[in-house]
């Protein structure tokens, strides 16, 4: 579904067949690429019309997807980021995501979900948590944490399934939302 940012008016919508659970989505040039959660298929749409161009076999669960200037970047709920060829969705490289434990050792960070690429970093919400991590895509290290507890707790008090689950960047404006949320929030990142 494509909505006008200021009004929320639906501009275009492409329904996914009930056999599939549509998940992550990204715009790559003149196309829209959408992953499905467990169907092991991705959909490619024409951006201008949202007309389905093709179904692409996909080898894993689809959770989140974004892109840098060269490759698509996808998550599958594990601690891995998959860097994919935009034409074939073939995996070109895999990066394991971790944060430094108290003793300095790498601690894998699982449940990477919705993704966004911005200013050379990958941002990921962690399924079921009230924060977004900033990841160095070259090393996989978590280099920042965006806390969203005050926003997420408003929705979780209404429904325990209403978790943080959406990140978008539009011309250096950062937005977050979640499952079952009727609201979209613009947030600012404060660097310490």
The residue assigned the tokens 């201008």 is: 48
Query: What letter does residue 82 receive in the DSSP assignment?
Result: E
Q: What is the pTM of this model?
A: 0.88
Q: What's the pLDDT at 191?
A: 64
CA distance readout (Å), 19 to 50, 61, 139, 156, 181: 19, 14, 36, 28, 24
Q: Where are the beta strands (DSSP E) in 19-172?
A: 22-28, 31-36, 41-46, 52-57, 64-67, 72-75, 80-84, 91-96, 98-100, 106-108, 112-118, 121-126, 131-135, 142-147, 164-170
Q: Would you give the distance in Å from CA 73 to the centre of its chain?
A: 9
Domains and CATH numbers, the chain: 2-152 (2.130.10.10)
From first to last of its 192 residues, the chain has per-residue pLDDT tens of 566 667 667 766 666 666 776 678 999 999 999 999 999 999 999 998 889 999 999 999 999 999 999 999 999 999 999 999 999 999 999 999 999 988 989 999 999 999 999 999 999 999 989 899 999 999 999 999 988 888 888 787 777 788 888 888 888 888 888 888 888 888 887 665
Looking at residue 151, what DSSP letter applies?
A: H
Look-up: residue for tokens 């965006």? 146
Q: Judge contact between 152 and 178, C-beta under 8 A.
A: yes
Reported as half-sphere exposure (CB side, CA atoms, 13 A), residue 19 has a value of: 4
pLDDT tens across 142-172, in order?
Answer: 999 988 888 888 787 777 788 888 888 888 8
């Amino acid at each position: 579904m494509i909505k006008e940012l200021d009004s929320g008016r639906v501009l275009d919508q492409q329904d996914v067949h009930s056999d599939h659970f549509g998940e992550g989505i990204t715009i790559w040039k003149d196309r829209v690429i959408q992953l499905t959660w467990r169907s092991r298929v991705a959909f490619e749409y024409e951006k201008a019309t949202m007309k389905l161009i093709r179904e692409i076999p996909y080898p894993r669960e689809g959770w989140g997807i974004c892109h840098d200037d060269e490759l698509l970047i996808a998550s599958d709920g594990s601690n891995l980021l998959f860097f994919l060829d935009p034409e074939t969705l073939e995996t070109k490289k895999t990066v394991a995501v971790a944060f430094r434990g108290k003793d300095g050792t790498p601690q894998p960070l699982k449940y990477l979900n919705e993704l966004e690429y911005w200013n050379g970093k990958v941002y990921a919400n962690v399924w079921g948590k009230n924060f977004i991590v900033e990841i160095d895509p070259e090393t996989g290290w978590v280099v920042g944490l965006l806390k969203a507890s005050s926003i997420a707790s408003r929705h979780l008090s209404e429904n325990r399934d209403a978790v943080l689950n959406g990140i978008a960047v539009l011309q250096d404006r950062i937005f977050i939302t979640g499952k079952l949320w009727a609201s979209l929030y613009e947030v600012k990142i404060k660097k310490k």
